[in-house]
Amino acid sequence: MRRYTKADLEELVYSQLENLNAMHDLLSIMKHQNGLIENANKKLKDEISEFKDKQVKYPVGRKARS
């Protein structure tokens, strides 16, 4: 069994704190990127709906359906 000194434990705690801060930063970046992706998806969905609304629908004759 290894005995840890106070300095060893402090070093471990500060390393863990640095890792937690880095993870927090990464989560913040990912949330921002997720927001950008959601906005892009919404714009794309709106553009597709607009494009579909503008399409001219030609009537199909009886012979073409068969």
Q: What is the pLDDT of residue 63?
A: 67
> What is the DSSP code string of 1-65?
-PPPPHHHHHHHHHHHHHHHHHHHHHHHHHHHHHHHHHHHHHHHHHHHHHHHHHPPPPPPPHHHH
Q: What is the pLDDT of residue 53?
A: 87
- 25's tokens: 């930063």
65 pLDDT above the threshold of 70: no
d(CA 49, CA 64): 27
pTM over 0.75? The answer is no
* Degrees, nearest 5: CA angle 29-40-31: 20
Q: What is the pLDDT of residue 64?
A: 56
Q: What is the pLDDT of residue 57?
A: 73
pLDDT (tens digit, 9 = 90+) per residue, 5-64? 999 999 999 999 999 999 999 999 999 999 999 999 999 999 999 998 888 777 777 765
